[in-house]
Structure 1
Amino acid sequence: MKERVLVAGFATRHVAQSAYRAGYEVCAVDHFCDQDLRGYTKDCCTFDELAELYDRVIEMARRHSIDMLVVTSGAEAIGTTIPLCGTPPAKVERYLDKMEIQRFFEGLGVPVPPLAAEGAYPAMLKPRRGSGGWRNAVVRSDEERRNWEEIFPDTPYITQQLVDGMPASVSCIADGTRALAVATNEQLLRGTNASAHGFAGSITPAGHPFAARMASIAEAIVGASGCVGSVGVDFMLGSDAWAIEINPRFQATLDTVEMATGRSVFQLHVDACRGRLPERLPEQKCVAVRRILFAERDCVIRADLASLAPAVADIPWPGTEVEEGQAIVSVYGWGSSREEALRMLDTHITTVRRYMEHG
C-alpha cells in the first residue's frame, strides 16, 4: 500500500508533484490549490491566512489516515501529532530568524555579509522572519530606511553590508550530521519595484566559477545545522561565496533541480530523514530554468493554460482574479546549455502570453 503524505504550507504544488511522481499518495493544505495541484492530490484544501493553517492540517488528518507530514514555507514551525518527515519545529525555529542565521554563520566562520553599522549605507535591509525575499530592500539613506519602516510597521529586521554578485543557492539533503549537495542553482529575482529582491525563478545548475566552493560551504553549513531532509542555503556569488540564508525545508528551486538531475528530491528527502544518504550524487542531465510570471496589473485569468503543461505549472483556474504583482504561472525551459534552456523559456513565455491575451 502506498504511504500517504500530507504536504502543508503556503505553496505546495512543487513538493506534492515530486511526492506523487515518487509513488506516494498525496493530500495537501495550500493557499492556492491550483489546477495541477489538484491533479497530484487525493484531497486538497485551501486557507487564506497562515493563522488558519494548523486547523486545516488537523481537519485533513481527520479526513484521511496520514503516514507523514511534510511542510513547506509558512508551516516550518507547525507542531502536530502527525509523524513529521523533516526537521523538528524545536530545531527549525532558529533558522526562521535571520539574526540567528547571521550568528550561526559567523560562529561557523563561513563567509557572510557583516551587519551594517548604524547609519552606514548602502545596506541590505531584511525582515528577521519571512521567506521569498519580497520585503528585502537596499536602503541608501536614513530616509529610505524610515520609508521602509512605514510600509512594514512593527517588523523587526536586520541590516547587512551590501555585497554584489549573482544570487544563487545550493540544494542539499541531510541526515542530521552529514549533508550532500544535490545541485547548485542560479536564482532569478524580480528586479523591479518594491519586490525587486523577491524570488522569481531558478536555473539549475549554476554556471559560476564559485559553484563548487558554494556547494562545499553549503554542505558544511547544513551538516552543522542538525537539520534533516531537504535543506537549502542561499548565497551571493561575488568576490566570494557569501552565505545569505539557510532554509530548513523544500526550496522553490525543486522543479529545476529535478529536471536537471532526473532524480526524485522527495525520495531523497524521505530517505535522508530515515538516516540514509546516497553513495553517489545525481549527475546533471540538462540545464533547466523556471521563471514565474507576475501580473502587471489587476486582471482575471480567463484562459485555460493546462494544455501547455509541462511547459507551465502552478496553473490558475480559469476565472481566477489576480492582483497586480501577484504570481500568475510558472514557465519552464530546458536544454543542453544555459542558452538553449533560456531560448526555450522565451518561446514558452511568448506562447503563454498569447494564450492569456486570447483567453
Structure 2
Amino acid sequence: MPSCSRDRSRPEDAFDVVLVGIAARGLAASARRAGLKPLVLDLFADEDTRALAARSLQLCRRDGLALDPDDLFAQLARHAGPDTPLVLGTGFEDAPELVGQLAARFRLAGSGADTLARLKQPFDFAHRLAGLGIPHPRVFSGPAPDGVPTLEKRVGASGGGHVRPSSQARGPGWYLQEQVEGRAVSALFLGNGTGARLLAFSEQWCAPAEGAPFRYGGCAGPLALEPALVEAIDSALSRLTARVGLTGLASADLILGAGAWHLIEVNPRPGATLDIFDAPPLPPLLRLHLDACAGELPDLPLLVPGAGVEIRAAGVFYAPTPIKVRDALPHWAADRPAPGTRIAAGEPVCTVQATGRDLADARAVLARRMDHLSRVLNIPSRAAAE
C-alpha cells in the first residue's frame, strides 16, 4: 500500500466531523448512519472507507502500524477546519502529548491528554482503581513475586499483540500485570466527565500468532450478564469516569471469573465493537459519542439478547504470509483493500462480519467465512475463533 497521504476520493467543500485512526472505517460507517459527512484519515483508505467518507486520506505510517504525527498535522491543517469536531480512534493510546497538541489546534471531541494519561499509565491506573474499590489485577515494575503468573505488556499499547507471559519486564516502557483467569468481556459505555452509561457487553477472543499469543481476534455480542454483576460494573465505571474525566465512547476490558471480576484496562475511544453494536436498536454510536462529549448521556436500557436484537460477530483476518489481494472481497468483509494491494505477513487483511441466532451460531458463521476467505486468498485453512 502507499506509504504516505493520498486523496483517493472526490473532494467536497465541508465536513461535519473529522475521523482519525489507524483504521477508521467503523467510525465512518457510524458517521454516515448518523447523517454526517466525514473527513476520514487513516493508514489504509480501504475501498469501503472511501465509499463512506466525504473525503478519505491515507496517512503516512511508521514503525509498523503507527501514525506519523508530522503527516497527520499537515493533512489536518490542509483539510480540516478548527471548529469541526475531531474524533480519534485507535492509534493514540500511547501518545497523550500528541492528543494534547491536537486538542490545542482542533476541536477535540473525546477524552483529552490528561484522561488518557490517567488511564494508560498502569501504576497510576491501578492506584486509582484501588482507591475506588474496583477489583483489578496487580501490576509490577520488577520481577513477578514467586507463584504469581504475570503477563508482560507495553505501556499504552492496544490490540493484544504486545502481550506475552513473562516473569520479568524487558525494560522501560514495559510492565507486568497479574494474569487472572476467566472469560474475556468488554463493556461498551459512554462517559460525560461526571458519570457513565453502560450500553452493551461483548465477549472477546484472541487470534494467536508466533510471539503474540494474545493478539486481538474478534468480538461478539450482546451478552446477558447477571443483574448484580451489571450493577457492580456500572457503578465502578461511573466512579472511574468521574475520577478521570472520561468523555465519549469507551470500552472497558474485563475478566469474569467464578464469583469475581477484574477490570483490566479502559480504552477511552470508540473501538472495535462499533462493528457489532452500531446497528438498531441502538442509535448511531458516533452521535451518542458527540452528545456525551457535550455532557449528554442517553436514557437507554442495556442492550441484551432478545426480540429484535441480532447477535453479531466480527473478527480480524490476518495475513499469515505475504499476500496480494487479487479480487474484490465478499460483501461480509469490511475494511476491504483494493485489488492489487500487497499485505505483509501478520498485518490485518480485513474484518469479517457475521450474525447468528446466538453467540455460538454467530461465531460458527464467522469461522466458516474465515475459512472461505483463506481459500479465496489461497491461504491454508485455519480456525477463526478458538
Separation in structure 2 between the aligned mates of residue 125 and residue 348 of structure 1, nearest angstrom: 33
Match of 1:269 in 2: 289
Q: Could you tell me how far 1:54 is from its partner in structure 2?
A: 4.7
Are 2:38 and 2:54, in contact at CA under 8 Å, matched by a contact in 1?
yes
Are 1:170 and 1:184, in contact at CA under 8 Å, matched by a contact in 2?
yes
Match of 2:5 in 1: none
For residue 163 of structure 1, the aligned residue among 171, 174, 180 is 180
For residue 324 of structure 1, the aligned residue among 345, 367, 376 is 345
Are 1:263 and 1:282, in contact at CA under 8 Å, matched by a contact in 2?
no
1:154-183 Cα shifts (integer Å, max 9, x gaps): 542221222111111111111110100111
1:64-119 Cα shifts (integer Å, max 9, x gaps): 44611001122363223211111122332222322322222122111101235734
Match of 2:76 in 1: 60
Identity %, equivalent residues: 25
Cα distance change, pair 200–265 in 1 and its aligned pair in 2 (3 A)? same
Q: TM-score, normalised by structure 1?
A: 0.88
Match of 2:25 in 1: 13
Q: Which deviates more from structure 2 when the two are superposed, residues 52-61 or residues 249-258?
A: 52-61
Are 2:34 and 2:287, in contact at CA under 8 Å, matched by a contact in 1?
yes
Which runs of no fewer than 5 residues in structure 2 stay unpaired? Answer: 1-12, 380-386
1:206-227 Cα shifts (integer Å, max 9, x gaps): 3555862444433433343211
Q: Which deviates more from structure 2 when the two are superposed, residues 188-197 or residues 103-112?
A: 188-197
Separation in structure 1 between the aligned mates of residue 67 and residue 345 of structure 2, nearest angstrom: 24
Say whether residues 1:181 and 2:198 are aligned partners: yes
Paired AA for residue 56 in structure 2 = C
Cα distance change, pair 246–283 in 1 and its aligned pair in 2 (3 A)? closer
Are 1:101 and 1:246, in contact at CA under 8 Å, matched by a contact in 2?
no
Three-state SS of the structure 1 residue aligned to 2:214 is coil
For residue 253 of structure 1, the aligned residue among 273, 293, 296 is 273
Are 2:220 and 2:363, in contact at CA under 8 Å, matched by a contact in 1?
no
4+ residue segments displaced more than 4 Å: 207-211
Paired AA for residue 288 in structure 1 = R
Cα distance change, pair 287–219 in 1 and its aligned pair in 2 (3 A)? farther
1:10-69 Cα shifts (integer Å, max 9, x gaps): 221111211122111111221111111111112222221246235324423423446110
How do 1:234-249 and structure 2 match up within 5 A? 234-239=253-258, 240-249=260-269
Q: Which deviates more from structure 2 when the two are superposed, residues 2-11 or residues 170-179?
A: 2-11
Match of 1:303 in 2: 327
Paired AA for residue 286 in structure 1 = E
1:175-209 Cα shifts (integer Å, max 9, x gaps): 11010011111111123421111211111123555
Separation in structure 2 between the aligned mates of residue 218 and residue 10 of structure 1, nearest angstrom: 26
How do 1:107-146 and structure 2 match up within 5 A? 107-116=131-140, 118-120=143-145, 121-139=148-166, 145=168
Q: TM-score, normalised by structure 2?
A: 0.82
Three-state SS of the structure 2 residue aligned to 1:357 is coil
1:282-315 Cα shifts (integer Å, max 9, x gaps): 644121111111111122121211xx22x11111
Separation in structure 2 between the aligned mates of residue 158 and residue 250 of structure 1, nearest angstrom: 25
Q: How many residues align?
A: 345
Separation in structure 2 between the aligned mates of residue 186 and residue 261 of structure 1, nearest angstrom: 19
Are 1:98 and 1:127, in contact at CA under 8 Å, matched by a contact in 2?
no
How do 1:18-37 and structure 2 match up within 5 A? 18-37=30-49
More helix by share: 1
Q: Which deviates more from structure 2 when the two are superposed, residues 248-257 or residues 121-130?
A: 121-130
Separation in structure 2 between the aligned mates of residue 155 and residue 314 of structure 1, nearest angstrom: 34
Which runs of no fewer than 5 residues in structure 1 stay unpaired? Answer: none
Q: Could you tell me how far 1:335 is from its partner in structure 2?
A: 2.4
Match of 1:106 in 2: 130
Separation in structure 1 between the aligned mates of residue 53 and residue 47 of structure 2, nearest angstrom: 10
Let me know the Cα RMSD of the aligned residues: 2.4
Cα distance change, pair 301–211 in 1 and its aligned pair in 2 (3 A)? farther
Three-state SS of the structure 2 residue aligned to 1:275 is coil
Q: Could you tell me how far 1:261 is from its partner in structure 2?
A: 4.5
